[in-house]
Amino acid sequence: MPITPTSLLALIATRAARAFLPTLAALALVASSAAATACAAPAAAATTDPRLDADSGRALVTYAPGIPWDHQHMILELRIADMRAPKLDGVATITSTCRLTAAAVIAFDARETIAVTSVTVNQRPATFNHQNNRLAINLPDAPAPHNATITTRIVYTAENPQGNGVGLVWLTGARRGTDADDAPARNPQIFSQGQANWNSFWFPCHDFPNDRLSTELIVDAPEGFDVISNGKLLSQQTLTSTATTKPLVRWHWKQDLPHPAYLVMLAVGKFAKADLALPPPPSDAGASILATLAAPGTTIAPAKPTSFITALPMRVYGPLGTEKTLATNFARTGAMVRFFEALFDEPYPWDKYDQIIVRGFRWGGMENTSATILAEYAATGDLGDHDDLIVHEIAHQWIGNLITCASWEHLWLNEGWATFAEWLWIEHTQGRKAYNKAVTDAMRKLTILPLEPLPAGVPMVSNLYTEPDDTFEKAEDPYVRGGLVLHAIRRRLGDEAFFRGARLFIDRHRLTSVETDQFRIALEDASGEPLERLIDELAKRPAFPKLTVKLRRDNAKGEVEVTITQRQTINPSNPAYELLVPVRITAANTNTITTFTIRTDRQEATETLAFPGTIAKIEVDPDHAILGQIEIDD
């Protein structure tokens, strides 16, 4: 059945984390393309090649920027004098260490919403050039040698520091009487949306995920408003006011452990609040939690007792008057934290976990370090209605925040893991059958899309993009496909080896930025299995295998002949996939199950399976070990 714009919108709306909605024109294009695919014979390979600019021959790729300066710490001082006027005064003090042999300039991403008034380096005035969203600062004592550490202080103002729901989103509210500031739908509100590269709307930074720094936000905001940011609240102090100024309160937040600039967050508003409870550490080091994920006859090793924190402040902020709903809807947050501590054998890494529901957020959620932003619908409904959203964002606190993709071509490591985590939570709470249904639904959503092979198709892991946000919108969806890639690897390796590899990945790379091959190497080291071809075909190649499996039974001989034909496009750019196809046969009299695995790396392969006795049922790939379409001819 060809996909329609409505069904594609429904597919995308189920994603828990931040993902851009395609334009209606793009949706119509997908729908019409799918319809043509469904009605027509297979067409010749597309002639368009997204890798090259047709006029210039230039490669249409984006490489990660270098890190000439390792930014280590930022103190960001902000003054918000009026919540109804989208303007702030800022001072960014950034400590950086030179990684070049010598450097005469230090540069930051700073969009044109930022107006820089002065800069000092090591307390000496410095000249600067601010154009094309880049702030280049000339060092007064240039050049700085390798490993030299400097402190840059940038004084600026930022007016309307936002794009279309990104940057520092400023809802000024409506003036409708004296109660306007207290009306839930009308009080002014501010929240940030930094992913992918939007925080440079409101502070200068290295706006790419391949560098990390610790941060402090010192924010002066009007009295009566809550200010939330990353990390722990060090102090809250009412400032002296005058007859002509409104009282301001200074909030000082500190994020001790380093994180990428896009995860720095700020929210200011009047909120209902609900404090949540963290269950005590499991007495069995998570063994009973992990038993819900282990296949029959297997065991996932328990976590270390030290992998469970003893206390964690957790608060939910939402629309005024929703305290009871917040407490109900988010009651499982603590259990989810314990689940991931057991799964990853890694304690929750941050000082707190806040969840802030705001108005006007364009997506489901955004996993800022220790402080997730959520869409307003999360304050409606009942317990369980938003568990997919809540668990998705909590999972990101480990993979996405503690470990972060080094560039947006590796986004699937963030979003695929968070999507996969939704299914694991389903398996933990509802059983393996419910997990398999979630995977089946995801496979159906992916395989009904008209995905193109090379060269027209762009793989999930690819630097073929112009803007970072393009990687969230691509047909080779890093959410759904990313989750299915992880599921396929899990089925290939088995539960013990797969989760051992995931833990090794976190142990090796915590508080760093990573690429796909680093994940692969951790899995290989944990399992002893070669995975390069599998992950290349799953993640670095577009489209998917389309199989026809013919089954011919010969009860007299006690044999089943299995012929597997790959019917997707096969050419030098798109060779046949290497597949391990499970075939499960159930005996009629005893219900004994025997599973065979057929390996093929060619267009057609035939294998004869010996199975004496009467066959009750034959199933091909019942657990979706193959990311693709399978038609059975029995």
| DSSP β-bridge partners for residue 177 | none
Residue type, 75: I
Tell me: pLDDT of 305 over 90: yes
Which whole-number Å values give the CA distances from 179 to 182, 320, 328, 358, in the listed order? 5, 13, 28, 19
Amino acid 7: pLDDT: 36
CA distance 350 to 371: 10
Contact between residue 595 and residue 582 where contact means Cβ atoms under 8 Å apart: yes
Q: What is the DSSP letter of 85?
A: S
pLDDT score recorded for residue 3: 31
Indicate whether 6 pLDDT > 80.
no
Distance CA 357, CA 336 (A): 19
Cis amide bond preceding 305, omega within 30 = no
Which one has a higher pLDDT value, 556 or 530? 530
378 vs 39, more confident: 378
- For every residue of 484-535, DSSP letters joined together read HHHHHHHHHH-HHHHHHHHHHHHHHHTTEEE-HHHHHHHHHHHH----HHHH
Residue among 462, 492, 458, 490 at smallest CA distance from 475: 458
Q: Across the strands, what pairs with 157? A: 89, 115
pLDDT band at 310 (very low <50, low <70, confident <90, very high): very high
Q: Where are the beta strands (DSSP E) in 209-286?
A: 213-222, 226-229, 232-238, 248-259, 266-269, 272-275
Place of tokens 């490993």: 147
H-run or E-run covering 142:
none
| Distance of alpha carbon 35 from alpha carbon 311, whole angstroms | 54
Give the Cα separation of 136 and 633 in Å (integer). Answer: 65
pLDDT, residue 16, reads 43
Mean pLDDT of 420-439: 98
In the numeric block, which tokens belong to residue 142?
Answer: 């240039």
Q: Is residue 556 within 8 Å of residue 618, measured between CB atoms?
A: no
pLDDT score at 113: 97
Closest CA to 220 of 385, 108, 76, 117: 76
Cβ pair 156, 205 in contact under 8 A: no
Which whole number is the average pLDDT over 478-483? 98
**The tokens of 10 are what?**
């429904």
Q: 192 is written with which tokens?
A: 């940030």
Q: Give 179 or 412, the one with higher predicted confidence.
A: 412
pLDDT 10s digits, 14-65: 444 444 333 333 333 333 344 433 333 344 444 467 888 888 888 889 999 9
CA distances from 544 to 38, 393, 505, 536, 629 (A): 16, 28, 26, 12, 8
Where do we find the tokens 């290295």? 206
Q: Determine the pLDDT at residue 534.
A: 98
Helix (H, G, I), strand (E, B) or coil at 316: strand
Average pLDDT, the chain: 91
Question: What average pLDDT does range 111-122 have in this prediction?
Answer: 98
Q: Residue 445 has which token pair?
A: 């959503």
How far is it, in rounded angstroms, from Cα 470 to Cα 33? 20
For residues 20 and 469, give the distance between their C-alpha atoms in angstroms, rounded to a whole number. 8
Contact in structure between 303 and 337 (CB atoms under 8 Å): no
Q: What is the tens place of the pLDDT at every residue in 431-441?
A: 999 999 999 99
**pLDDT value at residue 34:** 40
Percent of the chain with pLDDT over 90: 84
Report the SS3 class of residue 172: coil
- Measured over the CA atoms of residue 517, residue 519, residue 524 and residue 530, the dihedral's sign is negative
pLDDT value, residue 48: 67
pLDDT of residue 526: 98
Predicted confidence (pLDDT) at residue 461 exceeds the cutoff of 50: yes
One-letter amino acid of 511? L
Q: Supply the pLDDT for residue 10.
A: 41
HSE at residue 543, side-chain half, CA atoms within 13 A, is 22
Q: Would you say 164 and 144 are in contact if contact means Cβ atoms under 8 Å apart?
A: no
Rounded to whole angstroms, the maximal C-alpha distance in the chain is 100
User: Residue 553: CA atoms inside 13 Å, Cβ hemisphere, count?
Assistant: 12
CA of 405: how far to CAs of 45, 414, 543, in Å?
Answer: 32, 6, 23
**Mean pLDDT, rounded, for 581-604:** 94
Residue type, 20: F
Convert 123-152 to b/e letters by CB count within 10 Å (16 or more is b): eeebebebeebebebebeeeebeeebebeb
| Beta strands across the sheet bearing 167-171 | 167-171, 189-193, 266-269, 226-229
Dump pLDDT digits (tens) for 487-509. 999 999 999 999 999 999 999 99
Give the helix/strand (H/E) hosting 410.
Answer: none
Residue type, 87: K
Model confidence over 55-95: pLDDT tens digits? Answer: 888 888 999 999 999 999 999 999 999 999 999 999 999 99
